Structure 1
Amino acid sequence: MMQSAGRPRNADLDVALIKAAEELILDRGFSAVSVEAVSAKAGTTRPAFYRRFDGIPDLILALLLERFATDLDAVLDFGSLPADLEAIQREQVALFEDPLVKSSFTGFLDSLHTNDQLRQIFLEKFLGPRRAAVAAIIRRAQSRGEIPDFPDVEWICDLITGPMVMRILLPGLLPLDDALVMNTVASALHALGYQSSEGR
């Protein structure tokens, strides 16, 4: 998300472009989103678009960050590791089931293969806070004595998110249902060496 030097940035136009992209995705699908279509819907021009965004993937990332930003300070404590992980997974289901995400995620991820800078921003600002929230939950479980020290937090993040991403990227697989939530939580608990209070 790069701004050219010179003319001051019009924040209202930024909002209009992001809103135009969202409406196009929801109304006509990700394939309908082009610089021309977004600019026309926002009532502006291609040069004005490119003063604000490098291209459509850059705009979609701005939209995702605006709509689905995660605040690490808002990580809730439900009193136990199983309850905390279940809450994380239900939040992930809500994210991936959102019509905007369902319509744009596959196309957006594809664009990351050829754009190193955009991929880095996506990892740091979109995925990073979510993975940090999982790390915070695991540290809290360690402090409670629910699990032993477990340094490979990245693996747990992959373990709980990977099956959800697989199901939204491959049409025809089972939905993001309660069984998936509970099975991914159970897998994470097993990998973390969790034992219930009755088992300790």
Structure 2
Amino acid sequence: MNLKAGGQTRRRGAALEQAILDAAWEVLAEQGYPGFTYEAVAARAGTSRPVLYRRWPQHEDLLLATVRRFWSSQPIELPDTGNLRADAIGFLRNADVGRTRMLTLLSVQITDYFRETGMSLGELRDTIGPADQPPPFDTILARAVERGELAEPPRSPRVASLPFDLYRHEVFLSMKPVPEDVIEEIVDEVWLPLLGVG
């Protein structure tokens, strides 16, 4: 058995990587991008900088791995209620529970990263998100077409993603969860009329 001083089991492999990324997320949340250093993360994780460098040679590699882990650890459940309106509102409610804190934290804590790299939050999302999954509202719309609620899905990706785009806009404006009435307004007064559903 591999032991550290004091009889504690030495962390290796996936367990060590998880501990490092947990520590990295804590550093990012508390200190923001300026404080997100190899030194700070290694100290928080109880390991050494060379251990981090071997896994993530570049500072950006460590940041993206940290954000990717916590983005993927909080997936937004995609409802399948049998109704277009209920699916859309349900998804936005689930996003409000699962992603509001992360969205606000990222928009505030890594502003300097966006400024330094020229990357936008949308580009970051595309970088860390799963490449093999369709956008959630594409799935919601496809199901509605299969059920006969829509003749065909909208041709514009912007129209398809509009509810989540408006939801995210509300989050960034208020930096807090979006009220239920606003979620319903986004769906009932903007999106469904745009789709020709009444």
TM above 0.5: yes
- Relative to the length of structure 1, the TM-score reads 0.71
Q: 1:102 matched to which residue of 2?
A: 104
Cα distance per residue 1:61-101 (max 9 Å; x no partner)? 433433342779x6331120000001111122113333x44
Which of 143, 147, 166 lines up with 1:144 in the alignment?
147
Matched, 1:194 2:197: yes
Q: 1:142 & 1:156 partners in 2: Cα distance?
A: 15
Q: 1:163 to 1:71 in 2, by over 3 A?
A: closer
1:81/1:146 contact within 8 Å kept: yes
Matches within 5 A, 1:54-93: 54-69=57-72, 75-93=78-96
Matches within 5 A, 1:25-174: 25-28=28-31, 31-69=34-72, 75-98=78-101, 100-108=102-110, 111=113, 114=117, 122-123=125-126, 125-126=128-129, 132-152=135-155, 154-170=157-173
Percent identical pairs in the alignment equals 26
Q: 1:21 matched to which residue of 2?
A: 24
Letter in 2 for 1:62: A
Q: 2:111 & 2:130 partners in 1: Cα distance?
A: 12
Q: 2:95 & 2:133 partners in 1: Cα distance?
A: 9
Q: Which sections of structure 1, spanning at least 5 residues, go unmatched?
A: 1-8, 196-200
2:32/2:110 contact within 8 Å kept: no
* C-alpha displacement of 1:140: 0.8
- Relative to the length of structure 2, the TM-score reads 0.71
Q: 1:60 & 1:130 partners in 2: Cα distance?
A: 23
Q: Which sections of structure 2, spanning at least 5 residues, go unmatched?
A: 1-11
Letter in 2 for 1:104: L
Root mean square deviation, CA, Å:
3.5
